[in-house]
Homo-oligomer: A and B are copies of this chain.
Amino acid sequence: MSVIEIPTGTKTLIFSKLYYGVLTKSLSKLDIDRYFAVILFLNSNKKCCQQNICNNLMMDKAAMVKVLDYLTKAGYIHRITNPLDRREHFIELTIKGIKKSKEILKSVHEIEQKAFLGVTKKETLIFNKVLHSLSNNIKELPSTNLFFNYKNTKNKSTKKNSK
């Protein structure tokens, strides 16, 4: 077994930093300069509420408020109160948001293509499969709850004595 010099989590973090740098550059013509992944998520997930986005993109719900304020101000999204549960706000892309999401998707596709250059189809499949497994496996391990509000509603009993 090889000696781990840089933890896998660090390697993936480094890659994501590089990736976001390239994506931001590639989309510098847009009038927003971050949260592209949120736009893409909304593009493929209609009628989802804030907690939904938080759970899927691993972001804190308090941070999400600011993200959505930013995107609302830029005219990409709007909040719609769910009439069936008025606590929830559905987040929807505006016409502009939908239009821009196509551009974002185009950039992402281009970057993905260039990133996976020299990687075979089979290797790509395995890479994605393993990345998925890693995330699933690691989710099961004890963690500082850090930055999200993932349903841990099963053990209600411990809630009370959380200082």
Contacts and interface: CB of A to CB of B under 8 A. Distances in A.
Contacts of A135: 11, 14-15, 18
A82 interface: no
Nearest to A36: B7
Contact of A9 (B19, B56, B127, B147): B19
- Copies of this chain, complex-wide, total 2
Interface residues of A, number: 64
B133 A18 contact: no
B144 A25 contact: yes
Nearest to A17: B58
Contact of A7 (B7, B19, B145): B19
Interface in A8-41: 8-26, 28, 36-37, 40-41
A139 B25 CA distance: 13
A158 interface: no
A8 B126 contact: no
A61 to B, nearest CB: 15
Interface in A31-65: 36-37, 40-41, 44, 56-58
A119 interface: yes
Contacts of A160: none
27 contacts: A3-B44, A4-B112, A5-B44, A6-B41, A7-B36, A7-B112, A9-B111, A10-B57, A13-B13, A15-B131, A15-B138, A17-B146, A17-B147, A18-B135, A20-B146, A21-B144, A21-B145, A22-B142, A24-B146, A111-B141, A114-B138, A116-B130, A116-B133, A117-B133, A119-B134, A126-B126, A126-B127
